[in-house]
Structure 1
Amino acid sequence: MAQALTLNVLPRDKAGKGSARAARRDGLVPAVIYGAKKPPVMVTIKLNELIALLNRGGFLSHQYELSVDGKKERVLPRDIQLHPVTDTPLHVDFLRLAKGSKVTVEVPVHFFNEEKCAGLKRGGVLNIVRHEVELNVPATDIPESIDIDLASFDVGDSIKISTVSLPEGCEPTITDRDFTIATIAAPSSMRSEESEESEEAETEESSED
């Protein structure tokens, strides 16, 4: 499970566009902490620290621990507004994580044991349909990734959500179908051979007629 990362924030006394613009001029990004039936708290984040976290990837699926006036808040980023031209962060919404509640997050998919996969050893290609899967997960126990073992898959196999062992308490938001995460596609040489065999069979059937 993902560990909470520490993010330094500063309290912000005033709301409004004027206060937000002043913060940005000082190299800060306005943000708000809300949820868990508590009043919202306005804060600011250092722009360079926020950009460093964004560059790591997975910002919206990681938990963070914020310290505001000596009080720690466990949060999950729910939205980040970017400048339409420069992509500079303009504002962040943080959701408080209450024990016992659930949140919806996009969890990245990781594959392992490629070297043991029969399909890949035969020249097959891993075709990833979903790089992330949306899950309902415990708010205080968010998985860092969905790990899929490729060792048992062969050419032509589909890896569906039903074949994946999800962490305890996690469930996909899509429940009306057994959707595909990835497939082991046949190599072009194998497809060519199958096509030739099919054509030969059709020729033989035509000659018999």
Structure 2
Amino acid sequence: MKSITIKGSERESVGKKATKALRNARKVPCVVYGGDKPLHFSADELAFRDLVYTAAAHTVKVDLGEGKVRAIMQDIQFHPVTDKILHIDFYQLFDDKEVTMNIPVRLQGNAPGVRNGGRLLFRKRKLAIKALPDKLPDFFDVDISKLKIGDNITIESLLSDDFTILHPETMVVVQVKTQRAAIVVDEDEELEGEEGAAEGAETAAEGAETPEATDGGESKE
């Protein structure tokens, strides 16, 4: 998984007054849990742009000058009016200790069922998994190029020995549901329909070349 480096400074005071002063200086108070003791630090708001405002999942290297701490973002608080970042909680990573993290799902391809009038329902955009830090995937890539109307993809098809997915195997990730105007066809019928349409076009073209008598033509008496 890709990592983002956050350069910050360790906080000497964690009281309300000090926290307010940090926010007024456009810095975000943060804390890293999971180690021997909580690590309090602060960093510029812009330092979190690529971590917070993205659909991708990342690990973090907190750089405080004297060393780097590997972590993942666990919780974030925003101001209810301005949406400014108020506080971020991180959890420290260790090579031999599993961690729980939400991993985004990406859909690949175009579903034939949608072309036939079905409706694509993206049920789970993120999946919670448990894994060692080095086994954390960047995304779950889900191929929907064979989904017909009524088909779905469940957690079962995404299982791996590298991590544990913390959802039931039968949970639906994405599916194509029918609509009133939808046409349910299989691949053979689809091919036959295309061939029939081609033959029909050829017949129509031949018919157009053969003149036919009409009511406005000469009548034979």
By the TM > 0.5 criterion, same fold?
Answer: yes
After TM superposition, give the deviation of residue 10 of structure 1 in Å. Answer: 1.4
Alpha-carbon separation, structure 1, partners of 2:37 and 2:113: 54
2:127 maps to 1:128: no
Counterpart AA for 1:31: C
After TM superposition, give the deviation of residue 120 of structure 1 in Å. Answer: 3.6
Q: Do the aligned partners of 2:117 and 2:183 also contact (CA within 8 Å) in 1? A: no
Counterpart AA for 1:101: K
Equivalent residue in structure 1 for 2:41, among 40, 43, 55: 43
Post-superposition Cα deviations, 1:18-49, rounded to whole Å, max 9, x if no partner, equal: 2111111211111112213x222211010132
Distance 1:191 1:153, change over 3 A: closer
Corresponding position of 2:173: 181
Alpha-carbon separation, structure 2, partners of 1:9 and 1:149: 40
Alpha-carbon separation, structure 2, partners of 1:181 and 1:56: 21
Alpha-carbon separation, structure 1, partners of 2:167 and 2:55: 24
Q: If you compute each CA radius of gyration, which structure gives the higher value, 1 or 2?
A: 2
Corresponding position of 1:200: none
Corresponding position of 1:80: 76
2:181 alignment partner, SS class:
helix
Name which of structure 1's ranges 148-157 and 120-129 shifts more when overlaid on structure 2.
120-129
Alpha-carbon separation, structure 1, partners of 2:142 and 2:51: 26
2:67 maps to 1:68: no
1:23 alignment partner, SS class:
helix
1:18 alignment partner, SS class:
helix
After TM superposition, give the deviation of residue 89 of structure 1 in Å. Answer: 1.0
Q: Do the aligned partners of 1:75 and 1:96 also contact (CA within 8 Å) in 2? A: yes
Name which of structure 1's ranges 78-87 and 119-128 shifts more when overlaid on structure 2.
119-128
Q: Do the aligned partners of 1:97 and 1:140 also contact (CA within 8 Å) in 2? A: no
1:86-97 residue pairs with structure 2 within 5 A? 86-97=82-93
Greater share of residues in strand: 1
Alpha-carbon separation, structure 1, partners of 2:21 and 2:76: 19
After TM superposition, give the deviation of residue 57 of structure 1 in Å. Answer: 3.6
Counterpart AA for 1:137: A
Counterpart AA for 2:87: H
Q: If the length of structure 2 is used for normalisation, what is the TM-score?
A: 0.74
Percent of residue pairs identical: 24
Alpha-carbon separation, structure 2, partners of 1:69 and 1:82: 27
After TM superposition, give the deviation of residue 191 of structure 1 in Å. Answer: 6.3
Corresponding position of 1:139: 133
Question: Number of residues paired by the alignment?
Answer: 184
Gaps of 5+ in 1: 193-209
Counterpart AA for 1:84: P
Q: If the length of structure 1 is used for normalisation, what is the TM-score?
A: 0.78
Q: Do the aligned partners of 1:29 and 1:90 also contact (CA within 8 Å) in 2? A: yes
Please identify runs of 4+ aligned residues in structure 1 that moved more than 6 A: none
Alpha-carbon separation, structure 1, partners of 2:107 and 2:131: 20
